[in-house]
Amino acid sequence: MTHDPVCGMEVKTPSEYYIDLDGKRYEFCSENCQNKFALDPNSYIEKMNKVEPSYRTTSDGIEKLTLPINGLHCTSCVNTIEKEVKKLPGIRVARVNYATEMAHVEYMNGETNTEEIIGAIKKAGYQTGQSTLKIGIRGMYCGSCVSKIEKELKQKSGVISASVDIATESAIINYIPGLVCINEIKNVIEKLGYKTFDTASVKMEKAEEKEKTTAEPVDENQLAREKEYKTLMSKFIFAAILSLPAILFSYPDLWGLPEQFQKGTELLTYIWIGLGLLSLPVMFWSGSQFYTGAWAAFKNRSANMHTLIATGISAAWLYSAVAVLFPGIFPSEELADVFFDVVFVVVALVVLGMALEIRAKGKSSEAIKKLIGLQAKTARVLRDGKELDIPIEEVVLDDIIIVRPGEKIPVDGEITAGSSTVDESMITGESIPVEKHIGDEVIGASINKTGSFKFKATKVGKDTALAQIIQMVEQAQSSKAPIQRVVDNVSGYFVPTVMILAILSFVIWYVFGPVPQLIYALIVFVTVLVIACPCALGLATPISLMVGVGKGAENGILIRSGEALETAQKLDSIVLDKTGTITEGKPSLTDVITSNGFKEDEVLALSASVERFSEHPLAEAIVKGADDKNLTLNDPKEFNAVPGHGVEANVNGRKIFLGNLKMMKKFSVDLGELEEKSIKLADDGKTPMFIAIDDKAAGIIAVADTIKPDSKEAIALLKKMGLEVVMITGDNTRTANAIGRQVGIDRVLAEVLPEDKAFNVQKLQNEGKIVAMVGDGINDAPALAQADIGLAIGTGTDVAIEASDITLIKGSLKGVVLAIQLSKATMKNIKENLFGAFFYNGLGIPIAAGLLYPFLGLLLSPLIAGAAMAFSSVTVVTNANRLRRFKPKLK
Amino acid sequence: MALDQILVIIGGLGLSIWVAWYFWFSEKKAVKVQSVEGGIQEAVIKVKGGYTPDVLIFETGKPIKLNFIREETAACTEEVVFSDFNKRATLTPYKTIPVELKIDKPGEYGFQCGMGMVKGKLIVQ
C-alpha cells in the first residue's frame, strides 16, 4: 500500500497509474491525479516531504485538524459539538477538549473539509477561533488571476476561505491562526508571481514604533469624506464668486447702478444672457449632485432633498431664460424678469450647508473611531520559548503574551507572572490605574504602566471586551429610538407633499394673487421647494443617538439600543441588587474587638494563622485582613473543624478556639460583655466570630461584605433625581435592613430567593411604575430581563451581558446615575432637534407659500429660503454635537 | 375667470395628482433574488442618489448577502442602515461593501441611508 501524493488516498501497489521521477515511483489512484502530478510534480513532492504533524497529516488520506473553539461554557457543550461534527461524512475522530477549548478532528480527505467542519461547529452554536486577514495584491490583470489565487489559497491548510477582489486589488482570507500564519499566506500568493502589500488594517508595525508615531490607520471613509468636503467647498467658492455679479445685475435699481445698466436697456439684456450662460456651470458642476441625486431617486420613484432643489433652480432658470430671450411672449413687460441670482445663490448656500454638515458629522462619529483606534496592532507572544512580535490577528487562545512598561495590552487575559498597575480608563472610564497581580484579569487595549508581566490570552479576536464594546456601540448607533417612528411616518410623504404644496401655491398665487401674478407664483413655487428641509428631519434622531451612545461608551456605559436609551430617562423606580451591586460582593475584615488585655494585632494574627489554609470566604477575609497589616502568620497544628461551630487549633503552642457563640458555649468560654458587642455587630449586617486564646475570651473578629465606597453617594443622587430606590437581596431581613440604613435605602426587599427577583420586579411594575433593575448580570438575568431597563454591572471583560439593556463596565453604582443622566441629556437633545426640524419646516413652508402676505405683506425671497435650508441641517448636527460636551453631575 | 387661470388650475391639480401617484401609489419594480450555490441569496445594489434595485424579494430563512457599491462621493449615501436588525455599514465609495443578513420571518424590511432620505426595501417571502 502506498499513498497518492496528490489526493493522499490509499493506493494498492502496483497501481496502473504511476510516474517514475528521479529514480522514484509515484503511484496514483486515478488518471486525474496522475495528470495533476505530471503538471507540477515538485509541488506535490514538496508537500509530501513537508512535516506538519502538529495539525495535519496527509499520510493515509486522513486529515488531522485542531481547531480552537470559543465560548465553551460547560462539558455538555463538548458533546453538542462532537455530535454535530460526527454527523458529517468521513469523520473518524471528533474530540473536543473542554479545558484547552480545542477540537481535534480526524477526517477522510475528500469526503469533507475544514469549511464543513467549521460549519458544523457553528451549527452547534460555537465559534471557531478564526481570523480574517485583508491583504493587498498587486499584479492581477484578469479574472483568471483571481480564481488562481483563490484556488491556491484554499488548498493551504488552515485557510478556510479566500475571496480575491480584482477591483480593490485585495484578498479577504479567513484562516485559523496557529495553523497558518500571515507570512505563509503571503508566500502562497507571491509564489504565484504576485506582489502582496499590507492594507491599512493589517499594518505590521512593531508595537514600539506604533506607540511612538501613533499613526492612525488610514481610514478610507475618512479620506472619502475629506475629499467630498474639499470638492463641495470648491463648488461653493465657484458658485459664490459667480453669484456676486448675478446679485449686482439682478437688482440694478436696488444698487443704484448707472442708467445704462437699468432694466430695459440693451446692455443689461446682454449681461443677463451672460449670466444665464454663467449659471450653467454653477448648475451642472456646483449643483451637479442635485441633478444626479434627483434623477436617481426619480428612477426609483422616490424623491429627496435633491429633487426639491433641482426642481426649484431649474424652474427659476427656465423662466429667466425665456424672459431674457423671448420677452415678447409675456403679456406685460414687467413679467419678463430674471431670477438667475436664485440659481447662483441657492446652489452656493446649499452646497456650503452640505460641506459644513460633513464636517460636523465627522465629529459625531468620533467616539467609535476612538474605540477602534484603541486596538493594539501587535503582540509579543512567547512561542516555543521564543519571543515573537506578531500581528494581533494571529494571537490565539492560551498564548502567553509579554507586556513591558508603557505598552498596550493586546488582548484580554489573565496574568500568569509578574505584576503591574494598568490604566484601564479607555475601557472602564475609571481614571485611577488598577493594580494587577497573578491571577487578575487584564483587558485588551488598556495600558500597562509600571511593571512587566506575562499573561495568558483568554479572549481574542471578536471576543475581546473591546471588540464587543465596538460591536455593541455600532449596533446601538444603528438602532432606532421609538421616537424616530414619528419621523419615519412623516419622511416617506414629506418631499412629494412639499412638491404638491409648491404646485398648489403656484396655482393659488396665479389665480388669486396680486399683479404680476406669474412672477409671484413663480417666486412662491421656488421658495417653497427650496426652504423645505427633509434632511434636518431625517438627521434629528440618529445623529443625537450616535453622539449619545458614543459618549456613553467613553464613560464605560454601553447602551444596547435607542429604545433602552429612551426608556432609561422615563424611570420611576430603580431596584438594586445588594450583593455585588451595592456591596463589593466579597467579605472583608471590618472589626477586631479585644478583651481580657489581649492586643488587636495578636488576636488578628492568631485568628488568621488558624484560618490560613481554609478556603472559606470568611476565612480568606480574615487572612487578607492580617496580610494587609503585614502580620506574621504561623502554621496551625492540631487543626480541627467543628461543623456548625467553628475551628480549634494550636498556634505557637497556644490553644485557639475560633467560632460562633455555640462554639464558645461548647468549650465553656466566658464571653463577658463580648456577647453584647457581637449582637450590635450583627445588627450592622456583619458576621462576628469569637476567638478564645488558651480558654480565655480574647475578642471578636467581624467580617462583612463591605459597601462599595461610592454606593451611598450614588443612591443619594438617584433619590435626588426623583427615583424610588429599592434594594433586593436574598439575605436575612436584619442584615438587609442594616445595609439599607447605611446606604440610605428605605424600601428593602429581603429574603428574596434568586428565582423570585424577577417576580418582585414585576410586582413593582404592576404598581404602574417603569422599573430599572441593577444587578451583576449572572444571577440576576431573569430580573434584568423582566425590568423595563436592565442594567448589568460588568465584571471586567464580560461586557456583552445578554439580559441587560445597559452594561456598566465599571463596577460603581455611579455608572447608573451617569447612564440615566446621559439618557436624559440625549433624549432632550433629540427632542430639541425634532422640534427644531418640525418647527422649521412647519413654519418655513407656509411662510414661503406666502401665508403671511395677505396680513403683513411679507413674502420670502428664494435667497433667504436657500440660506435657511442650508443652515437648518447644519444646526441639527451642531446641536447633536453639543452632547459631546456632556458632563455628568455627580455631586 | 380667465382661460389661462382655468388652465393653470387644471394643470396644477393634474400635476399634483401625478406627483402623488408617481411617488406613492405607483407599483415599484421589485427584483426577485435567486439563491445561488450554497443557498446564499446574493444581490448587487448600486448606490447613486438612490439604491438600484431598491426593492428586493428574498426567500425566508436563507442567508442574504447584499453587495453595496456606492458610485458617488456625495455624503448622503455614505451609510446604509438596516434598523430592524441594528445593522449599519459605511459604504466606502467605489468599493463593494457586503451586508449579510438572515431573515427568518416573512415581511417587509426597510433599509435607508443615515438620514432616511434614500430608501430601499427587502421583501421576505
Say which CATH number the domain at B42 has.
2.60.40.420
Q: How far apart are CA B48 and CA A291, in angstroms?
A: 11
* A305–B117 CB contact, under 8 Å: yes
Residue A75's pLDDT is what?
A: 60
What residue in A sits closest to B52 (Cα-Cα)? A300
- Nearest-10 crossing angle of helices A534-554, A366-374: 40
How close, in Å, is residue A435 to chain B by CA atoms?
A: 37
CB-CB contact of A120 with A84 (8 Å): yes
> What number of other Cβ atoms are within 10 A of residue A637's Cβ?
11
* A478–B86 CB contact, under 8 Å: yes
Q: How far apart are CA A673 and CA A416, in angstroms?
A: 48
Boundaries of domain holding B73: 31-124
Measured between beta carbons, the chain B residues lying within 8 angstroms of A228 are 73-75
**In chain B, positions 90-119, which contact chain A (CB-CB < 8 Å)?**
90, 92-96, 114-119
The partner residue sitting opposite B114, judged by closest CB among A300, A537, A542, is A542
Catalytic amino acids of A? 577
Q: How many domains does chain B have?
A: 1
Residue A215's pLDDT is what?
A: 36
Which residues in chain A land under pLDDT 70? 1, 7-10, 47-62, 64, 70-76, 97-101, 127, 129-132, 141-144, 166-168, 177-178, 198-219, 777-778, 795-801, 891
Measured between beta carbons, the chain B residues lying within 8 angstroms of A358 are 75
Measured between beta carbons, the chain B residues lying within 8 angstroms of A503 are 12, 15-16, 19
* A221–B92 CB contact, under 8 Å: yes
Sheet containing A131-138: which strands, arranged edge to edge?
Answer: A159-165, A170-175, A131-138, A195-198
How close, in Å, is residue B116 to chain A by CA atoms?
A: 5
Measured between beta carbons, the chain A residues lying within 8 angstroms of B76 are 293, 304-305
Residue A771's pLDDT is what?
A: 94
* B75–A357 CB contact, under 8 Å: yes
* A496–B74 CB contact, under 8 Å: no
Measured between beta carbons, the chain A residues lying within 8 angstroms of B78 are 221, 224-225
What residue in B sits closest to A560 (Cα-Cα)? B86
How close, in Å, is residue A295 to chain B by CA atoms?
A: 8
H or E element, residue A854: helix A853-856
> Is B111 part of any domain?
yes
How close, in Å, is residue A621 to chain B by CA atoms?
A: 45
A842 in the Ramachandran plot: left (φ > 0), alpha (ψ -120 to 50) or beta?
A: alpha
The partner residue sitting opposite B48, judged by closest CB among A296, A357, A538, is A296
Measured between beta carbons, the chain A residues lying within 8 angstroms of B8 are 506-507, 510-511
Residue A796's pLDDT is what?
A: 60
Measured between beta carbons, the chain B residues lying within 8 angstroms of A330 are none
Measured between beta carbons, the chain B residues lying within 8 angstroms of A474 are 88
* A538–B117 CB contact, under 8 Å: yes
Cβ contacts below 8 Å, chain A against chain B, sum to 131
The partner residue sitting opposite B81, judged by closest CB among A478, A493, A511, is A478
Residue A753 is given by DSSP the state -
**In chain B, positions 63-82, which contact chain A (CB-CB < 8 Å)?**
72-76, 78, 81-82
Look up residue A459 and give its three cell numbers.
479572549
Q: Is pLDDT at B86 greater than 60 in this prediction? A: yes
CB-CB contact of B70 with B93 (8 Å): yes
- Candidates A782, A595, A609; CA nearest to A696 is A595
Look up residue A612 and give its three cell numbers.
490560613
* B75–A225 CB contact, under 8 Å: yes
pLDDT in tens, B104-114: 889 888 898 87
B89 in the Ramachandran plot: left (φ > 0), alpha (ψ -120 to 50) or beta?
A: beta
* A496–B20 CB contact, under 8 Å: yes
- Candidates B42, B56, B46; CA nearest to B121 is B56
* B8–A300 CB contact, under 8 Å: no
Look up residue A220 and give its three cell numbers.
478610507
What are the phi and psi torsion angles at A474 (to 5°)?
-60, -40
Residue A732's pLDDT is what?
A: 79
Residue A848 to residues A498, A757, A833: CA-CA distances in angstroms? 11, 58, 21
Pairing of strands A24-28, A62-70: unpaired
Measured between beta carbons, the chain B residues lying within 8 angstroms of A542 are 81, 114-116
> Is B9 part of any domain?
no
- Nearest-10 crossing angle of helices A814-848, A484-512: 10
Q: How far apart are CA A757 and CA A777, in angstroms?
A: 12
How close, in Å, is residue B9 to chain A by CA atoms?
A: 6
CB-CB contact of A732 with A748 (8 Å): no
How close, in Å, is residue A300 to chain B by CA atoms?
A: 7
What residue in A sits closest to B95 (Cα-Cα)? A168
What residue in A sits closest to B6 (Cα-Cα)? A511
Looking at B1-125, which runs of residues are DSSP E strands? 31-32, 41-47, 51-52, 55-58, 63-70, 79-82, 87-90, 96-102, 107-113, 119-124
Q: How far apart are CA B40 and CA A629, in angstroms?
A: 65
H or E element, residue A623: helix A617-628
Most A-contacting residue of B86, B90, B94, B97 (CB-CB within 10 A), to test interface: B86
Residue A831's pLDDT is what?
A: 93
* A228–B74 CB contact, under 8 Å: yes
Q: Please tell me if residue B25 touches chain A, with a CB cutoff of 8 Å.
A: no
Look up residue A814 and give its three cell numbers.
455611579
Residue A700's pLDDT is what?
A: 92
Measured between beta carbons, the chain B residues lying within 8 angstroms of A231 are 73
The partner residue sitting opposite B19, judged by closest CB among A293, A295, A496, is A496
Partners of A688 in beta bridges: A702
ipTM: 0.83
> Is B20 part of any domain?
no
The partner residue sitting opposite A302, judged by closest CB among B48, B50, B87, is B50
CB-CB contact of A787 with A774 (8 Å): no
* A510–B5 CB contact, under 8 Å: yes
CB-CB contact of A376 with A403 (8 Å): no
Look up residue A159 and give its three cell numbers.
485557510
Measured between beta carbons, the chain A residues lying within 8 angstroms of B16 are 500, 503-504
Overall average pLDDT of the B53-63 stretch: 86
Overall average pLDDT of the B19-29 stretch: 85
Residue A167's pLDDT is what?
A: 62
Q: Which residues of A257-291 are buried (b: 16+ CB within 10 A; e: fewer)?
A: eeeebeeeeeebbebbeebbebbeebbeebbbbbb
> Is B39 part of any domain?
yes
How close, in Å, is residue A290 to chain B by CA atoms?
A: 9
Residues in chain A, overall count:
891
Look up residue A498 and give its three cell numbers.
412639499
Overall average pLDDT of the B51-70 stretch: 87
* B96–A475 CB contact, under 8 Å: no
> Is B21 part of any domain?
no
Most B-contacting residue of A116, A166, A221, A549 (CB-CB within 10 A), to test interface: A221
> Is B8 part of any domain?
no
* B5–A511 CB contact, under 8 Å: yes
Sheet containing A91-97: which strands, arranged edge to edge?
Answer: A91-97, A102-108, A62-70, A127-128
* A358–B28 CB contact, under 8 Å: no
Please state, rounded to an integer, the average pLDDT across all residues of chain A: 83
How close, in Å, is residue B22 to chain A by CA atoms?
A: 6
What residue in B sits closest to A505 (Cα-Cα)? B12
How close, in Å, is residue B41 to chain A by CA atoms?
A: 17
Residue A305's pLDDT is what?
A: 85
> Is B13 part of any domain?
no
The partner residue sitting opposite A231, judged by closest CB among B20, B73, B114, is B73
How close, in Å, is residue A644 to chain B by CA atoms?
A: 54
> Is B100 part of any domain?
yes
* A475–B12 CB contact, under 8 Å: no
